Amino acid sequence: MAATKRILCVVGARPNFMKIAPIMRALRADDVPLEAVLLHTGQHYDDAMKRSFFEQLDIPEPDIDLEVGSGSHAVQTAQIMQRFEPVLDEHRPDMVLVVGDVNSTIACALVAVKKGIPIVHVEAGLRSGDRGMPEEINRILTDQLSDLLFTTERSAHANLHKEGIAEERIRFAGNVMIDTLRHNLDKATPAAQTLPEGIQAGESYGLLTLHRPSNVDDPAVLGRLLETLAEISQTVPLVFPVHPRTRQRIHDAGLDGLLATTRIFTLPPLGYLEMLGLMKDARVVLTDSGGIQEETTALGVPCITLRENTERPITVNEGTNTVVGTSPEKILASFRDVMSTGGKAGRVPEYWDGHAAERIAKVLVDWLGAGEAARHAAG
Ligand code: UD1
């Protein structure tokens, strides 16, 4: 009798959680003949960065938690690798599934490939062209190691071909992050419940996030950005849920005082439903996040990206995103444009339809021959 095929799914950091939620749901659906095991590396561990996402997004409790926690890139990656290897020996999955571009993604892929276990990468082929970004290194290497690569936009296929990855390994699935957005839109927390006291009911506001090392690690860059954002906040108040690393950098750079004098209102990191509620009603979103560029495009909300590049060009070519970099003049010009025109109209990209994870599950069943195994078992 053929055994049920087992797929081990890996999550580690906040942006992974909204990707894995629909994948686990699709893989554990009654009519999918696969066994899906969930592993959390522990890269993001505290309540604000992890627990609230598991609860709000109905992610099943991880079957395995490596509990690695924070550390330098080398330490974090090495610890995940060391702790992941015995898990593979014990659970013997037929495939390892990784998502996105965080340290947990590359660490687990690297261990699996050396053990001869096939790897599937969800959100493959995105490239910013900027090798100074740790995520870019993680993307390139994970794609090289993967047997099956699911993409969110067609531009990713050309990137993968350039790197020698054959078309037959690539599948266009759409965007699992947008599966989560569509699944939860009705449950989003009304903005009024999250907005800080300094913003009146009904007043327009902007939503701000910042956490990329290139924006927050250098006190001069961070200071200049916050001064520009302070100027914007005189026109539209900004709500700023602050990532832990950014909170630390603002403090280290002695910039707490600057923030206190502006209409930038800081909040602790928010849960998914609170963030979604704020995003959908924002007049404008200013961010250096990858996922938020996609979510604003899906929601039709204007997005100003405070980076020199994007690995998600479809959000610019079809969506509501404008990549402006970090020069004060460009940020202010783009902001004024959004205020006067309402921003780009945009349209929702192909297959950002809420069904990407189901498409992925179907391909995995075929790829692993799991349907056949189940039929054998039944017969
Ligand atoms: C990671 C990802 C990044 C993603 C981001 C989203 C990599 C290379 N980067 O960056 O792609 O956009 O997550 O959040 O994997 N910390 C806490 N609590 C936690 C986790 C972290 O306080 O639960 C603090 C620690 O001080 C830690 C710092 O945040 O040192 C950074 O965390 P880390 O996972 O190293 O990287 P991120 O900057 O979050």
For residue 374, name the pLDDT band (cuts at 50, 70, 90). Answer: low
Same-domain check for residues 65 and 104: yes
For residue 372, name the pLDDT band (cuts at 50, 70, 90). Answer: confident
* Residue 303 belongs to domain with CATH number: 3.40.50.2000
For residue 157, name the pLDDT band (cuts at 50, 70, 90). Answer: very high
Same-domain check for residues 32 and 83: yes
15 lines ligand 1 (CB under 6 A): yes
Tell how far the Cα of 179 is from the centroid of ligand 1, in angstroms.
24
Whether 17 is covered by a domain: the verdict is yes
What's the confidence (pLDDT) of residue 275?
A: 98
134 lines ligand 1 (CB under 6 A): yes
Who's near 189: CB < 8 A, 6+ residues apart? 271, 273, 274, 276, 277
> Each residue of 216-271: pLDDT tens digit?
999 999 999 999 999 999 999 999 999 999 999 999 999 999 999 999 999 999 99
Q: Is 277 exposed, middle or buried (0-12, 13-18, 19+ CB in 10 A)?
A: buried
Same-domain check for residues 108 and 13: yes
Same-domain check for residues 336 and 359: no
Q: Is 233 exposed, middle or buried (0-12, 13-18, 19+ CB in 10 A)?
A: buried
Positive/negative CA dihedral, 332, 335, 341, 346: positive
Whether 268 is covered by a domain: the verdict is yes
Same-domain check for residues 91 and 110: yes
Whether 181 is covered by a domain: the verdict is no
Query: 44, 288, 312: which to mutate for ligand 1, most atoms within 8 A of CB?
Result: 44
Same-domain check for residues 203 and 96: no
169 lines ligand 1 (CB under 6 A): no
Residue 211 falls in the annotated catalytic set: yes
> Each residue of 165-213: pLDDT tens digit?
999 999 999 999 999 999 999 999 999 999 999 998 889 999 999 999 9
The number of distinct structural domains making up the chain is: 2
Which ligand 1 atom is nearest residue 138's CA? 8
40 lines ligand 1 (CB under 6 A): no
Mean pLDDT calculated for residue range 91-110: 98
Whether 185 is covered by a domain: the verdict is no
CA geometry: angle at 295 spanning 226 and 232, to 5°? 25
Same-domain check for residues 71 and 146: yes
Q: Of 228, 368, 340, nearest to 286 (Cα)?
A: 228
Catalytically annotated residue among 40, 44, 211, 243: 211
48 lines ligand 1 (CB under 6 A): no
Residue with the smallest CA separation from ligand 1 atom 3 is: 102
Same-domain check for residues 158 and 205: no
Domain that holds residue 135: 5-174+352-378
> Each residue of 102-137: pLDDT tens digit?
999 999 999 999 999 999 999 999 999 999 999 999
Q: Residue 218: what residue type?
A: D
Whether 261 is covered by a domain: the verdict is yes
Tell how far the Cα of 13 is from the centroid of ligand 1, in angstroms.
7
Same-domain check for residues 70 and 141: yes
CA 376 – CA 287 distance, rounded (Å): 51
Task: Judge whether residue 375 has pLDDT over 90.
Answer: no
Six token digits for residue 113: 């490939």
Same-domain check for residues 242 and 362: no
135 lines ligand 1 (CB under 6 A): yes
Query: 14, 45, 67, 70: which to mutate for ligand 1, most atoms within 8 A of CB?
Result: 70
Whether 273 is covered by a domain: the verdict is yes
What's the confidence (pLDDT) of residue 379?
A: 61
Task: Provide the greatest CA pair distance for the chain.
Answer: 72
In DSSP notation, 102-121 reads SHHHHHHHHHHHHTT--EEE
* CB burial string 293-317: b at 16+ within 10 A, e below: bbbbbbbebbbbbbbeebbbbbbbe
> Each residue of 279-334: pLDDT tens digit?
999 999 999 999 999 999 999 999 999 999 999 999 999 999 999 999 999 999 99
Whether 9 is covered by a domain: the verdict is yes
Mean pLDDT calculated for residue range 369-378: 72
Who's near 232: CB < 8 A, 6+ residues apart? 206, 238, 286, 331, 332, 335
Who's near 40: CB < 8 A, 6+ residues apart? 11, 12, 50, 62, 64, 65, 66
Same-domain check for residues 296 and 152: no
Whether 312 is covered by a domain: the verdict is yes
The residue written with tokens 């580690």 in the block is 12
What's the confidence (pLDDT) of residue 72?
A: 97
Six token digits for residue 118: 């096939």
What's the confidence (pLDDT) of residue 376?
A: 73
Sheet holding 64-65, edge to edge: 64-65, 34-40, 5-11, 95-99, 119-122, 148-151, 170-172
For residue 370, name the pLDDT band (cuts at 50, 70, 90). Answer: confident
102 lines ligand 1 (CB under 6 A): yes
Residue with the smallest CA separation from ligand 1 atom 7 is: 102
Who's near 169: CB < 8 A, 6+ residues apart? 146, 147, 148, 149
Residue 187: its H or E element: none
Same-domain check for residues 25 and 140: yes
- pTM for the whole structure: 0.96
